[in-house]
Structure 1
Amino acid sequence: MSQSQYVTDAETTTESCKVAIDTHGNVFKVPDYTIKDILSAIPPECYNRKLAVSLYYVFRDIAIMAGIGYFANVFAYPYVKDLHVAARFVYWAFYGYVQGLFGTGLWVLAHECGHQAFSDYGAVNDFVGWVLHSYLLVPYFSWKYTHSKHHKATGHITRDMVFVPKTKEDFVKSRGILADIDEFSEDSPIRTLIELLTQQLGGWIYYLLTNVTGQPYPDVPKWKWNHFWPSSPVFDDKDYIYILLSDLGILTQSLVLKIWYDKFGGWSVFINWFVPYIWVNHWLVFITYLQHTDASMPHYEADQWSFAKGAAATIDRQFGFIGPHIFHDIIETHVLHHYCSRIPFYNARPASEAIKKVMGEHYRFNDENMWVSLWKSARTCQYVDDADSKGVYMFRNVNNVGVGTGKKKN
C-alpha cells in the first residue's frame, strides 16, 4: 500500500485532526489539545523548588565521585597495581565508566540550573550551574541560551536548535549525489556503526564547535557557528557578556587541569577526569538523540507548529536503575520537561502522570532497551519528508525500513 493510500484511509476516519504516516506506516494524529490544558492538569505542588533538596543531590553526587575516586586510587590501588595488565585495564575502564555515570548526573543537575528548576534563586542557580558545567568544559550560559531556544521551538523544522533532521532534499545533497532518493543503495551496517561511533564519541564537542544538527546560517561565516564566539548567530546581542563569562569558566577549568597535571601527573588527569569526561559526552548525546529521534516522531513547518505540538514531539524511555537514581529521571520524564522545564526533577514523576491524562494517545513512551533503540533509530531515522501530509514531516530512510522510499517494505 502506498503512502497516499495510507493517508486517504486515515483521513476518512480521522477527519477532526490532521494526520501523517510514520516510518512504519502507522497513522500519526497531530495533537489537538492546548498548552493551557497541559499546565492546568499539573498539581501545584509539583512546581515547588527546594534549594536544600537540589543541593543535597549535588553534594551527594560529588561525594560519591570523591569516594569512588579515593577507593580506586588510594585504598584499592595497592591490591591492583601488581595485577596482570588486562585485569588493570578492566579495573580502570570500569572505574572511568562509573565516574562518567555520576559525572552525567552532575551535568543533569547543571541542566536543572539552566532551566531555573534548581531553586527559586536565579543567582544561585546560575552560579551552581556555571561551576558544574565549567568543570565538564561546558560553556554554561552559552548552552543555556541555545537550549532555551530549543525548548521554545522543539519540533519546528526551521527554528529548533538541535537534532534538526535533514529534509529529503538536504539528505540527497549531503550524500553528494544529484539523484532521486529511491536510487540510493541501502547503507551497510558498518557505515551505520561508524556514524554512531562518531556521533557518540564526538557529537557533543562537534555541536559546541560547529553547531552540527542545528540550523544553518548561510549569511554568517561557518567558523562563527559555535558556542564560544560571543557574536555567534546562535545567540542574541544581549547574551554577549554571558558568553564571555561562559568562556571564562572554560579557561578557569583548563587552568585547573593544568595545575592538576603539574601536581599529580598525566595519568591522574586522564583516568580521573578525561575518561569520565568522554563518558559524560557520550551519555549526553545518547540521551538527547533518543529523546528527539524515533520512527513515530513528527516535525512541523511553521504553519503547522505550536508549542503544545512541539513539546509532544519528544519521547520518554527508561534506563533501568541508572535513569532515575543517577541520571535524575532526565530520560523517564522528558516529555513533561518540555511542557514545563521549571519543574524540578524530583517532582517530575507525579507531574508526568498528570499530563499523560491530557495527552492520551499523543504521549510517547518506549521501554525497549535503549541500545537497541539507538541502532534502530540510526538505521530508520535518516531524513524527514512531508510528501503526503504537507507541513507535518515524518522520518524516512534508504535502508528499506518501513514506508516512503518506494522500495520493498521489510
Structure 2
Amino acid sequence: MTATVSPNNLTFTPLSPDLRLKDILKTLPKECFQKDMRKAWTSVLTNILMVGLGYVSIAIAPWFLLPIAWIFTGTALTGFFVIAHDCGHRSFAKQRWVNDWVGHLFMLPLLYPFHSWRLLHNKHHDYTNKMDVDNAWQPFRPELYASLPKTIQLAYQGMRGRLWWLASIVHWAIMHFDPSRVDAKDQNKIRLSVAVVIGFAAIAFPVLFVTLGVSGFIKFWLMPWLVYHFWMSTFTLVHHTAPDIAFQEPEQWNAAKAQLTGTVHCDYPMWVERLCHHINVHIPHHLSTSIPSYNLRAAHQSLRENWGPYLYECRFSWPLMKAITDQCHLYHPTECYQSFQAYKRQTLS
C-alpha cells in the first residue's frame, strides 16, 4: 500500500541492501526519459504568459487584492525556476547551449546564477541525505550546534522553525555567489553566471527605481520574489524532511535507499502544481534527473505500481509544516531528528 498517511506514523518495508538505482530505473517506462520539445517549449510559452498575466494583475489590482496578485506572480516565477532546473539537469533540450541559454534567462528575474546553482544542486543529487556531504537542508549535529555563537544558533532555530520560508534567501546569498564552493575547473562558469546576474540587476533595478520609484520596486519585484522564495524554501524542505526520514552516516549511506525512500512526494493545490511544472512529484526526479518535468507524473505512477510500499507521500498542509518545523531540528543517529526542546532538556539534565 502506498504511504499516504501523516508523516508521523509512516513505516517503510525494509529494502534489500543490494538494491541499486539501476534496478529501480529498469522498471520505469522508457517514454519517461524521452524529451518532447513541443511540450518543453509549450511550458516555456505558457509560463511566460502566466508571469505576464501576474504582472498585469499587479499593475491593475486595487491595494486589497495585491497580495493575491503577488502570490500568483511569485508562484508563476517559481515555474521559471523549474524550467531552468530542467535546463540545469540537461533534461530540457538535447543541446547543451540551449539548456545554458534558457537556464540563464529564466533565472535572471530571480537573481540566481545559473551555473552556480546547477553545480551545487548536482552535488545534492549525488549525495541525497548523506550526512556531512549533502548541501540541502542537512541538519546540524548537536555538537556543531553547541559550538556556534548564540546569534548563529538563533538564526538556525528560525530557519528550522517558523521562519523556514526565509531559508532559501539565506541559502541563495551564502552559497551561490562564491566560486570557491566548486572545483577549480568550474569556477569560471560560476563567475560568468554571477556576472550575468549582476549585469541584469545593474540595469533592471535602476530602471525600476527611476520609472516606478521605491514603491514600484517593492510592488513589482520584491514582493513576488519573496513569494518565490517562500515556495523554494517550502518545496526544498518538504522534498527531504520528515520526522521519520533519516539522514544517513556516510558509511551507512545507500544511494538507492536515499533516493527512493528519503525523497517525499507532496501534493499541493493543483494551481500550484501546474504553475510550478509538477516539481513536487519529486521521487522519480531523484531517481533520475534526466526525466523531464512533464514526464514526472507518468514516472511516479509507474513507481506506485512497482515500488508502492516504499514511497513517502503526503499532502501540503499546516499540520505537515508544523510537524516538520516542530521536530526536525538537529541530527539524531537513531531517531532521525532531535527537536530543540529535546536537546535543551538533554543538556540541562
> TM-score, normalising length from structure 1?
0.74
**After superposition, where does 1:49-60 map in structure 2 within 5 Å?**
49-60=35-46
Q: Distance in 1 between matches of 2:171 and 2:340?
A: 25
Q: Distance in 2 between matches of 1:105 and 1:245?
A: 23
- Deviation readout 1:92-136 (Å, 9 max, x if unpaired): 222111111111111111111111111212111111111111221
Q: Distance in 2 between matches of 1:281 and 1:71?
A: 20
Q: Distance in 2 between matches of 1:385 and 1:92?
A: 43
Shift in CA distance, 405/318, structure 1 to aligned 2, threshold 3 Å: farther
Match of 1:8 in 2: none
Structure in which a larger fraction of residues adopt helix: 2
Q: Distance in 1 between matches of 2:186 and 2:159?
A: 37
Of 342, 359, 366, the residue aligned with 2:314 is 366
**After superposition, where does 1:304-323 map in structure 2 within 5 Å?**
304-312=252-260, 313-323=262-272
Q: Does 1:248 align with 2:195?
A: yes
**After superposition, where does 1:141-290 map in structure 2 within 5 Å?**
141-174=115-148, 196-201=161-166, 203-210=167-174, 226-230=175-179, 232=180, 234-254=181-201, 255-290=203-238
Q: Does 1:386 align with 2:333?
A: yes
User: Which sits farther off after the overlay, 122-131 or 370-379?
Assistant: 370-379
Q: Distance in 1 between matches of 2:129 and 2:307?
A: 17
Q: Does 1:61 align with 2:47?
A: yes
Match of 1:396 in 2: 338
Q: Once the 2 structures are TM-superposed, how far is the Cα of residue 145 of structure 1 from its aligned partner?
A: 0.1
- Structure 1's consecutive aligned runs of 4 or more residues displaced over 6 angstroms after TM superposition are 191-194
Q: Distance in 1 between matches of 2:293 and 2:10?
A: 32
Paired residue secondary structure (1:299): coil
Match of 1:17 in 2: none
Of 27, 41, 53, the residue aligned with 1:41 is 27
User: Which sits farther off after the overlay, 51-60 or 27-36?
Assistant: 27-36
User: Which sits farther off after the overlay, 278-287 or 246-255?
Assistant: 246-255
- Deviation readout 1:216-250 (Å, 9 max, x if unpaired): xxxxxxxxxx32132x1x20111111111111221
User: Which sits farther off after the overlay, 261-270 or 290-299?
Assistant: 261-270
- Deviation readout 1:136-186 (Å, 9 max, x if unpaired): 10111001000000000001102111111122333444586xxxxxxxxxx
Match of 1:335 in 2: 283
Amino acid at match of 1:395: Y
Paired residue secondary structure (2:172): helix
Q: Distance in 2 between matches of 1:315 and 1:127?
A: 30
Q: How many residues align?
A: 333
What is the aligned-residue RMSD (CA, Å)? Answer: 2.8
Paired residue secondary structure (1:294): coil
Q: Distance in 2 between matches of 1:26 and 1:103?
A: 33
Q: Once the 2 structures are TM-superposed, how far is the Cα of residue 263 of structure 1 from its aligned partner?
A: 3.0
Tell me which of the two structures has the higher relative contact order, counting C-alpha pairs closer than 8 angstroms and 6 or more residues apart: 2
Structure number with larger C-alpha Rg: 1
Q: Is the 8 A contact 2:158 2:164 kept in 1?
A: no
> TM-score, normalising length from structure 2?
0.86
Q: Distance in 1 between matches of 2:74 and 2:209?
A: 20
- Identity percentage of aligned residues: 23
**After superposition, where does 1:46-125 map in structure 2 within 5 Å?**
46-73=32-59, 76=60, 80=62, 88=63, 90-125=64-99
Name stretches of at least 5 consecutive residues in structure 1 with no aligned partner.
1-22, 81-87, 177-186, 211-225, 388-392
